[in-house]
Each structure stands twice: as structure tokens, then as C-alpha cells.
Chain A
Amino acid sequence: MRYAMVIDTLKCVGCSDCVVACQTENDVPIGYCRDWITETVKGTYPSLDLELKSERCNHCENAPCVRCCPTGASHIVEGGIVLVTGDECIGCGACIESCPYDARYQHPDGYVDKCTFCHHRLEKGQLPACVSVCPTKCMYFGDLDNPNSEVSQLLKKRKYKTLAPEAGTKPHVYYLL
């Protein structure tokens, strides 16, 4: 099993509903976030391109955060999800330094925190909170190892990109173009 998230940049309107849903579902402290919206405007006036994206931990296959963790608090579980065990984390910050996406932060309680793909919801057969609330239905979640899953089909049909592929992390959040 290999979980992946596919986000349609053509459908996303940048409403931040995914951000609020995540903060509520995961009790994210005020001022922090596990996912966030970015807006990029590119081009030569007047022909400009706007791209809206919902970003989060990419649950990389070649995860530098897991490699550099001195205690093993950062680890990969079934489905390729990268998790942090709070009680094993010493808060050294090495994983934060190692992440090209700056997807991790130090929780006010001391340990390092980040997106879990809503692991606790997946165990109950539910979708991640951000995916389930998206009003434009621009986010898809599923198993890449299953060729018939919605995410596999979308990646077969549509053009897509991943973020900073040159960092060599093999991210598993895909953006449809």
C-alpha cells in the first residue's frame, strides 16, 4: 500500500477550508498549521498565470527527516506515512532543518509536529480531514499501488508535478496541472 494525495490546482480556489479543518481535527495550536495555501502568480503582464495550492508534508519515499532523526521518533508506517512519536522526540530540530518543504514545526509542548495524512481517520476508514471538507472537491486521496484507485487513474490521465523533485525526496503529494 502506498498512500498519496492528488490536488487539482485548476479546481482549488484557495479558500483555506482544508487549513481550518486540519486545525480543528488535529487540535493544532493557534498560530501554527499542518497545511497551508500558497498562491503563485507568474508570467509577463498582461498574460499572467495564477496557481493556487494546498501544501503539507509530502510523506516522501526518501524522507530526509526520518534519516536524520537521532532517536527514531520520525518514522515511516504502513502506507508510507511519515509520523513523529512525540514521546521519543527530543526537539533537536534536525528534521526541521532537513525538510525542503519546511513542513514541520516545533509544537509549543516541545516535540515536533506535522501532517499525519490524518492517520487516525484512515484507521477508521475515513478520508483525511482536509480532503473530506474541500468544497471544490479538488483533493483526492488513495492508494497508488492499486491501479484502479482514483489517484492512480488521475495521475495516468492528467499532467502533474511534485514539489522540489530536484531535492530527491520522491514526494507523494501530487499537483494536477
Chain B
Amino acid sequence: MEEELFISGRNIPNIDPSLEVWHWPISLYLFLGGLAAGLLFFAAVFYLLGKDKKYPAAVKVSSVIPPIALSIGLLALVYDLTHKLYTWQLYTTIRIESPMSWGAWVLLIVTPISFLWTFSYYREVYPKLENKLQVFKRLKFLNGLEKYIIKNRKYLAYALIPLTLILGIYTGILLSAFNARPLWNNAILGPLFLTSGLSTAAATIILLSKKKKEKHFFGKIDLALIIIELALISHMIMGYFAGPEVQVEAMQLLIGGEFTVMFFVFVIILGLIIPAILELIEIYGYKTPVAIAALLVLLGGLVFRFVMVEAGQITRYLY
């Protein structure tokens, strides 16, 4: 029998026996970044279509989530850096070839816009809170700013559409650009993470909405996104099958290997198939607990990011 025995004299913390350089904050950030991108994308699109009255949860109510999600995400990102005091170095240069540089700059633009968007709806969405706090009466300069933003909301929305698409795709490309990690190195991960981000955003809108019609409409959107996501995942697996040996080995982590249960039970079945069935039943007019479907989509999206980040770091070239 042909045998091979490999011994390495190297045993560096976090590098051997397999990489553990990116931890849970990265997975959490990828989830929150995708969610925020999706929410802002829907908000901008339906605002520009003039549907802010018809879909208030999508345009107004949910707008409170992106600033929080992006802030937590950014803190998580910085937390996972090992040379934190030098973080400002990201903003001394623009490196076209580095996905992380793209992400850093896009976040620098999207995060403040997400705060402005929420701020412009603050008085409308939280009238009771405003009566209590009287923020606009105490800080008078805010009135002018609020009026200015409301007048120019259209331009914010136009800017948000391309920016959120870049943000959503970048969360996938951040991983797929690494040729050295065969599990990540497939071109479909960008569109897949974007779709997943949009789907989790649609689920959040379903959870926040109080209007039946809006819930119904975003249930349909979510169903379409879930079907696209399932198609993209099967394409990803087909790509591994047809790929070089390292990718076939990488795929075995998801199919038959240590991440199989996490991937199939939490991501595919609980996170995609069951919510899709629940939403389908709802579309046909039967009463179903859509909130459960929405929560499962969010859970599936989160677990998917954890599986991809952790499994990807195990895969490598063997020589």
C-alpha cells in the first residue's frame, strides 16, 4: 500500500495544526454586515419607488437596525485585529486588489449614511420617545439638519443602492479571494453572501412589520431569495465536485466531515428549507407562524457564516 507520512517541526500558536486566525467576531461581522446591507438596500429601493407608506417597516422602522448592526460589526472587526492601535492605517491608502481595503472604505461611507437615514425617520417612527426626550427642542441645530436630510433623502437612497450591493458582495469576496483556502476560493461566494444578506434582511422586515400586506410581500421576496440561495449553494457544491483535489477535500468537510450536521441541519434544513415551506404555505393563504420562519432564516444565516469561516481555515494546499 502506498503510504505517506508527513512530520513538520513547526508548531506556531493559531497557525498549526490548522489556522485559527479569524475567530467568531469575523463570522458575526459577516452576518451583521450582510444584514445591514440588505436592510439599507430594501429601504433605499422602496423609498425611491415611493412605497414608504405601503411598506413602512422596510423603509422606516427597520432603519434603526443597520446603524446598530454596523457599529457592533465594526467593533467586532477591530476586536479581532491583533495590532489594534494601528487600525487607522487602513485609511491611509486605497488598495484596489485588496477586498478588505474595499470593505474598510465602503463601511466608512455606509455607516454614517445609515445613521443619517435612521435620524431622518426618528421623529416619525418614535413620536412618543421624542415627546419624552425632546431631543429636537434641546438641541436646536438638529432641526435644520433633519430638514436638510429629509429634503435630500433621495440622494442618500441613490448612493445606498450601489454601496450596499458592494458591501453585501464584499462579505463573500473577502473570503473567496483567498486562493490558499480551497473552501473559500469559489467565485459564487460573493453573490451567495449577498443573497443570504438580503434574505436575512427580508426576514427582519417580516419580524418588525405590523401590516399584513407588508409581511406577505416580504414573505414572497424572502421565498424567492431562499430559492436563489439554495440554487447558488448547489452550484457551489457542484463547483467543488468538479474542482481540483484540494477543493474536493474541502467539500468533504461539509459533506460527510465535521461540519456536516451544522451545514445540513442548521443552514440547509432549518435555515432555508423549513422557512421556505412555511412561507409557501402562507402565500397560499393559510395561517402559519411567519415569525418562526423569519427567526429560522436569521439563525441559518448566522450559522452559515460561522461554518464557512471556521471550515475554510482548515482547508489548505498539501504539498
Q: Which residues of A contact B86 (CB under 8 A)?
A: 71, 87-91, 110-111
Query: Are B83 and A91 in contact, with the CB atoms below 8 A?
Result: yes
Which of the listed residues B22, B82, B83, B97 has the most CB atoms from chain A within 10 Å of its own CB? B83
A41-B5 contact given A67-B97, A93-B82, A166-B244, CB 8 Å threshold: yes
Instruction: Say which size band chain B's interface belongs to.
Output: 35 or more
| Docked-complex contact A36 and B2, CB < 8 angstroms | no
Partner of A68, one of B3, B11, B81, B97: B97
Complex CA–CA separation, A104 to B15 (angstroms): 8
Task: With CB as the reference atom, state the residue of chain A lying closest to B102.
Answer: A70
A104 to B19, CA, bound (A): 11
- In the complex the two chains form, what is the Cα distance from A33 to B16 in whole Å? 12
Given A67-B97, A88-B89: A36 and B15 within 8 A (CB)?
Answer: no
B1 within 8 A of A: yes
CB-defined interface of B12-29 with A at 8 Å, one 1/0 digit per residue? 111110010110000000
B21 and A97 form a contact (CB under 8 A): yes
The digit string for B74-111, where 1 denotes a CB below 8 A from any CB of A, is 00000011111011011011010111110010000000
Alpha-carbon distance between A110 and B84 when the two chains are bound, in angstroms: 8
Q: Is B287 an interface residue (CB 8 A)?
A: no
Once A and B bind, how many residue pairs between them come within 8 Å at the CB atom?
Answer: 153
Most buried by B among A16, A39, A43, A70: A70
A173 at the interface (CB under 8 A from B): no
- Would B89 and A44 count as touching, CB distance under 8 A? no
Given contacts A69-B95, A111-B83, A166-B317, contact A64 B180 (CB under 8 A): yes
A166 CB → nearest B CB, Å = 7
Partner of A40, one of B4, B15, B90: B4
Chain B 29-63 near chain A by CB (<8 Å), digits 1 or 0 = 00000000000000000000000000000000000
Q: Judge if A122 is at the interface, Cβ distance under 8 Å.
A: no
Are B95 and A91 in contact, with the CB atoms below 8 A?
A: no
Indicate if A96 sits at the interface (CB-CB under 8 A).
Answer: yes
Given A91-B81, A96-B15, A164-B317, the answer on whether A33 and B10 have CB atoms closer than 8 Å is: yes
Task: Assess whether B81 is in contact with A100, with CB atoms less than 8 Å apart.
Answer: no
Q: Are A40 and B83 in contact, CB atoms less than 8 angstroms apart?
A: no
> Which B residues lie within 8 Å of A167 (CB)?
179-180, 317
Known: A71-B93, A105-B15. A97 touches B178 (CB 8 A): yes
Binary per-residue interface labels of chain A (83-99) against chain B in the complex, 1 for a CB within 8 Å, 0 otherwise: 00011111111101111
Q: Which 5 A-B pairs have the closest CB atoms?
A: A91-B82, A91-B83, A110-B83, A36-B10, A70-B100
* Interface residues, chain A, with chain B CB atoms under 8 Å away: 14, 16, 19, 31-33, 36-45, 48, 55, 64, 67-73, 86-94, 96-100, 102, 104-106, 109-111, 163-164, 166-168
Given contacts A71-B92, A96-B21, list 4 more A-B pairs with CB under 8 A.
Answer: A43-B3, A91-B83, A98-B180, A110-B83
B→A interface (CB under 8 Å): 1-16, 19, 21-22, 80-84, 86-87, 89-90, 92-93, 95, 97-101, 104, 177-181, 244, 313, 316-317, 319
